[in-house]
C-alpha cells in the first residue's frame, strides 16, 4: 500500500518536528520521559493521520526520523541493563563518560559510576563531602541536594563548583546537574552528573590509527575536553603557549575541524566511537529455561517450560496450566505474553479439570524467532495445530487476549472442525476508521497508530518502550500505560495480580529475555491486513463470546458499541469495573464461560 502524502500545513504547530527530536533525546537520558514524547508525537502526526483519505502509512516529510529512532533504541539498549539493577544503578547506566553519582536524603552516596570512581575517587557508601571540591563549595553542593528533597515542586538544579587543589581537577570549573529521581516503589534520590569526562581507555589507539595524532596532540586534545585553556595546558605540560597553539592548529588540520569548539565536538564524537559496541550480553532464556513462576515471593506454582520441534528445526515452547490431564483449552496470551493467571484462577482451572495449553510464539521466551520472509500469522497458526497434535488434542475452545482473536479465526479457517468456540478478552475487530485510533489511550494510540501509519518506525518505537518498561519495572510500567483506567491501574498494586502479570510476561521481558522485535512483528502484519471477511465467516460456524471492560483504554466503550453493531452474532459481555486486563478481574466468569463452550460443543457432537 502506498503512503498517503500530506503537506507541511497539516502540522498544527510550526517547529513541532524540532520539538519532537528534542523530546526524543530527553527519553534517551531518561525513558520515564516517554510520556512527554507521546504527547508531542500526537500533536505532530494526529492532523496528518486524520486528514488522510484512508487508514494507511503516511509520509512525515522528513527522512531522518527513522535514523533518530534507531539511535534512541541503541542508546536505550545500552542503558537497559536489566531489572536486577537498583534504580540508582539504572539511572547511572546512561552516563558512561560523565562522572556521576546518586545521593540519598542523608547525603550518602548510593551509587557511583566508573567515571566518578576514577576521576573523583568516590565509592558507594561514602559521604557527599568526599567529592574533591574547594572547601567552600562542599556546603553549597550539600545544600543544593537537600533543597531538591525538601522544596515542593523543585526537581533539578545546576551548580558551578571548582575542583580541590589536591585533585586532578585542581581549581577547574566543574558543573553539576542535579535531578531528583522518584522511582516507583523505592525511596527518592538525587542524581548528580558532572561536566568531568572519563577518557576511554581505547581512545588513544583510535586517534593514533584513525587520524595520525601524536601522543602530545592526544594529551592536548584530552586537556581541551577537561575545559582547560591553552594557557593552562601550557603550564600543565611545561610548554610554551606558542607550542600548545601550534599543536591545536595541527589537531584541527588532522581532524578537519575549523575551530576549537569544533575540535571539542570532534573529541566527544570520538569518545562515542570508542564506546561503540558495548552492550549487555543476551541471556539463554527465562528463569533458566526450565520453569515459569514460583519465585521466592510468588504464590504461583512453578510450571515447566516444555517444547516441540517443528520440521524446519524451529523450537516452539509452551506451558500447561491447571489440570495436566484434564479437558484441553488453548489460551493465547496476547502481545504482552501474559502466560500466567492469578494463583486462585489457576487453582480453579485445576479443580474444574481444565488443561490450559499456552503456546509461546516465535521470538518470545526461547521459541525460535522467524526469518523475515515467513508469514507470521500462518506460521503461528501452524504451530498451534502442531502443538495440539503433539498433545493428542483434536478439538479445543480457545481463550484469546487482546489481538489474538485473529489467530483463533485463522486457525478455524485453516483447520475446520477443531475449534469449539472462542472466549475473546478485550477483543479487537479489524480497525479501519481513523476515529477508532483517536479514542485509544495515548500509549495504545502511539503503538497502534505507529504500526498502521508509520510502520517503518515501529521496531524502534517498541524497543524504546521496552527500555522504558525495564527502567520503571513492571508495576511502574503498568501504572504508566493504564493510568486512565482505574481498574487496570489498581492491578499494579494488587500483589496476586502483579505476581501473575510479572511471571507470565517473563517470556516477553525478563533478566534474560527481550522480545521487542517479536512484539513489533506481531503488530506489523496484523495492522496491515483487513480480516473483516474472515471474522464474518465465523458466523453460524464458531461461537465467539467477547469479554470487555468499560474502562478498556484500547477498545473503549464507543468502539465496543461499533463492534456489537458490525458483528451482531457475537455475544458481548461488558463489565463495569474492568479494563483491558479483564481476564485478571473476571477470571471466575472466564472459567465458567469456557465450561459453557465445552458443554455446548459436546451437545452438538
Residues 524-549 pLDDT 10s:
754 446 788 999 999 999 999 999 99
Give the max Cα distance, the chain: 99
Please report, rounded to a whole number, the percentage of residues in the chain having pLDDT higher than 70. 86
- Residue 61 has a pLDDT of 66
Which cell numbers hold the place of 309? 520441534
Would you list the domain boundaries of the chain?
A: 87-197, 203-275, 293-604
Identify the DSSP state of 100: E
The pLDDT-based confidence of 273 (bands split at 50, 70, 90) is: low
Report whether pLDDT(75) > 80.
Answer: no
Confidence of residue 63 (pLDDT cuts 50, 70, 90): low
Quote the pLDDT of residue 7. 41
Q: Please state the rounded mean pLDDT for residues 551-560.
A: 93
pLDDT at 493 over 60: yes
Residue 313 to residues 309, 310, 507: CA-CA distances in angstroms? 6, 5, 20
Question: What is the model's pLDDT at position 330?
Answer: 97
List Cα–Cα distances, 582 to 80, 512, 555, in angstroms.
Answer: 30, 28, 12
Query: 304 in helix, strand or coil?
Result: strand
Kindly state the average pLDDT of the residues 367-391. 89
The fold of 293-604 is Rossmann fold (3.40.50)
pLDDT tier, 14 (very low <50, low <70, confident <90, very high otherwise): very low
Q: How far apart are CA 469 and CA 80, in angstroms?
A: 9
More confident residue, 277 or 548: 548
What 3-state class would DSSP assign to 553?
Answer: coil
Q: Give the percent of the chain with pLDDT over 90.
A: 37
For residue 31, the model assigns a pLDDT of 64
The per-residue pLDDT for 47 is 83
Torsion of CA 211, 213, 217, 218, to 10 degrees: 80
Give residue-wise pLDDT tens across range 570-589: 999 999 999 999 999 999 99
Sorting pLDDT into bands at 50, 70 and 90, what band is 114? Answer: confident
**Higher-scoring residue by pLDDT: 605, 377:** 377
* Sign of the torsion formed by the C-alpha atoms of 413, 528, 581 and 556: negative
How many whole angstroms separate alpha carbon 301 and alpha carbon 326?
17
Dump the DSSP string for 455-488. GGGHHHHHHHHHHHHHHHHHHHHHHHHTTT-HHH
Residue 148 has pLDDT above 90, yes or no: yes
User: What pLDDT is stored for residue 202 in this prediction?
Assistant: 66
Q: How confident is the model at residue 287 (pLDDT cuts 50, 70, 90)?
A: very low
Residue 29's pLDDT is what? 66
Question: Cα separation of 482 and 38, whole Å?
Answer: 14
pLDDT for res 423: 95
3-state helix, strand, coil in the chain (%, to 5): 50, 15, 35
pLDDT in tens, 252-270: 888 888 887 777 777 766 6
Of 354, 368, 361, 430, residue with least CA distance to 396: 354
Residue-wise over 292-305: b if at least 16 C-beta within 10 A, else e?
bbeeeebbbeebeb
What pLDDT score does 185 carry? Answer: 60
Given a cut of 80, whether residue 413 has pLDDT beyond it is: yes
Q: What is the pLDDT of residue 579?
A: 92
The stretches of 121-180 forming alpha helices (DSSP H) are 138-150
H-assigned helices in 171-226: 203-211, 215-225
188 pLDDT exceeds 60? yes
pLDDT, mean of residues 458-479: 81
**Residue 51: what pLDDT?**
80
Flag whether pLDDT at 361 surpasses 90. Answer: yes
* Least-confidence region, from 86-95, 290-299, 328-337, 373-382: 290-299
Taking residues 357-386, what's their average pLDDT?
90
Q: Residue 276 has what pLDDT?
A: 42
Nearest to 443, CA basis, from 67, 74, 42: 42
Residue 279 has pLDDT above 60, yes or no: no
Task: Provide the pLDDT for residue 486.
Answer: 92
Q: Poorest-confidence range of 12-21, 119-128, 156-165, 504-513?
A: 12-21
84: confidence class by pLDDT, cuts 50, 70, 90: very low
Q: How many Cβ atoms are within 10 Å of 197's Cβ, its own excluded?
A: 20
Average pLDDT, integer, range 119-146: 93
3-state secondary structure of 119: helix
What is the reported pTM? Answer: 0.65
Residues 6+ apart with CB under 8 A from 202: 274
Q: In whole angstroms, what is the distance from residue 382 CA to residue 257 CA?
A: 58
Rg (CA), the chain: 28
- Average pLDDT value over all residues in the chain: 83
pLDDT in tens, 28-39: 666 667 777 788
Q: How far apart are CA 38 and CA 372, in angstroms?
A: 29
The CA distance from 274 to 218, in Å, is: 14
Q: Strand, helix or coil at 63?
A: coil
3.30.70.120, 1.10.10.10, 1.10.3720.10, 3.90.1150.10: CATH of 203-275: 1.10.10.10
Q: Which residues pair with 94 in a beta bridge?
A: none
Highest mean pLDDT among 14-18, 294-298, 398-402: 398-402
pLDDT recorded at residue 201: 63
The more confident residue out of 406 and 90 is 406
Task: List the end-to-end C-alpha distance of the chain, in Å, as a whole number.
Answer: 44
Question: Could you say which of 3.30.450.20, 3.90.79.10, 2.30.140.10, 3.30.43.10 is the CATH number of the domain covering 87-197?
Answer: 3.30.450.20
* CA 320 – CA 340 distance, rounded (Å): 10
For 164, other C-beta atoms within 10 Å of its C-beta total 18
* pLDDT at position 375: 85
Q: Cell 566511537: give the residue.
A: 273
Residue 62 has pLDDT above 70, yes or no: no
Q: Which three cell numbers stand for residue 169?
A: 581537577
Amino acid at each position: 500500500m502506498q503512503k498517503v502524502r500530506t503537506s507541511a500545513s497539516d502540522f498544527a504547530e510550526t517547529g513541532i518536528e524540532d520539538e519532537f527530536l528534542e523530546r526524543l533525546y530527553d527519553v534517551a537520558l531518561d525513558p520515564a520521559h516517554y510520556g512527554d514524547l507521546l504527547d508531542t508525537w500526537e500533536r505532530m502526526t494526529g492532523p496528518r493521520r486524520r486528514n488522510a483519505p484512508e487508514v494507511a502509512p503516511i509520509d512525515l516529510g522528513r527522512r531522518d526520523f527513522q535514523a533518530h529512532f534507531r539511535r534512541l533504541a541503541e542508546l536505550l539498549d545500552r542503558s537497559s541493563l536489566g531489572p536486577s539493577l537498583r534504580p540508582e544503578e539504572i539511572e547511572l547506566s546512561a552516563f558512561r563518560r560523565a562522572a556521576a553519582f546518586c545521593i540519598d536524603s542523608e547525603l550518602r552516596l548510593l551509587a557511583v559510576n566508573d567515571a566518578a570512581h576514577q576521576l573523583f575517587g568516590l565509592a558507594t557508601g561514602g559521604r557527599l563531602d568526599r567529592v574533591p571540591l574547594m572547601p567552600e563549595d562542599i556546603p553549597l553542593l550539600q545544600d543544593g541536594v537537600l533543597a531538591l528533597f525538601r522544596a515542593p515542586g523543585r526537581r533539578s538544579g545546576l551548580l558551578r563548583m571548582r575542583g580541590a587543589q589536591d585533585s586532578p581537577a585542581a581549581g577547574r570549573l566543574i558543573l553539576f546537574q542535579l535531578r531528583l529521581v522518584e522511582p516507583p516503589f523505592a525511596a527518592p534520590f538525587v542524581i548528580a552528573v558532572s561536566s568531568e569526562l572519563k577518557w576511554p581507555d581505547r581512545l588513544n589507539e583510535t586517534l593514533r590509527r584513525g587520524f595520525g595524532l601524536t601522543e602530545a596532540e592526544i594529551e592536548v586534545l584530552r586537556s581541551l575536553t577537561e575545559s582547560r585553556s591553552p594557557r593552562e595546558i601550557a603550564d600543565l605540560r611545561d610548554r610554551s603557549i606558542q607550542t600548545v597553539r601550534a599543536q591545536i592548529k595541527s589537531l584541527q588540520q588532522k581532524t578537519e575541524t575549523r575551530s576549537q569548539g569544533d575540535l571539542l565536538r570532534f573529541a566527544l564524537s570520538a569518545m562515542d566511537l570508542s564506546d561503540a559496541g558495548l552492550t549487555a550480553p543476551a541471556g539463554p532464556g527465562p528463569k533458566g529455561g526450565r520453569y515459569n513462576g514460583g519465585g521466592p515471593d510468588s504464590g504461583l506454582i512453578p510450571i515447566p517450560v516444555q517444547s516441540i520441534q517443528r520440521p524446519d528445526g524451529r523450537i516452539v515452547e509452551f506451558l500447561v496450566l491447571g489440570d495436566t490431564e484434564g479437558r484441553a483449552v488453548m489460551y493465547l496470551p496476547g502481545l504482552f505474553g501474559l502466560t500466567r493467571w492469578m494463583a486462585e484462577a489457576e487453582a480453579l482451572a485445576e479443580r474444574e479439570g481444565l488443561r490450559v495449553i499456552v503456546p509461546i510464539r516465535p521470538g518470545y521466551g526461547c521459541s525460535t524467532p522467524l526469518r523475515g520472509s515467513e508469514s507470521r500469522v500462518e506460521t503461528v497458526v501452524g504451530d498451534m495445530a502442531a502443538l495440539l497434535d503433539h498433545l493428542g488434542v483434536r478439538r479445543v475452545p480457545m481463550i484469546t487476549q487482546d489481538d489474538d482473536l485473529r489467530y483463533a479465526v485463522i486457525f478455524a479457517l485453516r483447520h475446520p472442525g477443531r475449534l469449539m468456540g472462542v472466549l475473546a478478552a478485550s477483543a479487537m475487530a479489524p480497525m479501519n476508521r481513523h476515529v477508532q485510533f483517536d479514542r485509544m489511550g495515548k500509549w495504545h494510540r502511539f503503538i497502534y497508530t505507529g504500526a498502521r501509519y508509520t510502520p517503518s518506525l515501529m521496531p524502534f518505537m517498541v524497543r524504546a518502550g521496552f527500555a522504558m518498561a525495564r527502567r520503571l519495572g513492571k508495576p511502574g510500567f503498568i501504572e504508566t500505560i493504564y493510568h486512565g483506567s482505574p481498574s487496570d491501574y489498581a492491578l499494579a498494586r494488587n500483589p496476586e495480580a502483579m505476581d501473575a502479570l510479572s511471571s507470565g510476561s517473563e517470556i516477553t521481558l525478563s533478566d534474560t529475555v527481550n522480545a521487542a522485535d517479536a512484539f513489533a512483528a506481531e503488530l506489523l502484519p496484523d495492522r496491515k491486513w483487513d480480516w473483516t471477511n474472515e471474522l464474518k465467516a465465523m458466523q453460524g460456524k464458531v461461537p465467539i463470546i467477547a469479554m470487555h471492560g468499560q474502562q478498556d483504554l484500547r477498545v473503549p466503550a464507543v468502539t465496543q458499541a461499533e463492534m456489537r453493531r458490525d458483528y451482531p452474532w457475537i455475544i458481548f459481555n461488558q463489565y463495569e469495573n474492568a479494563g483491558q486486563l479483564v481476564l485478571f478481574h473476571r477470571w471466575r466468569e472466564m472459567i465458567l464461560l469456557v465450561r459453557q463452550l465445552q458443554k455446548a460443543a459436546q451437545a452438538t457432537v
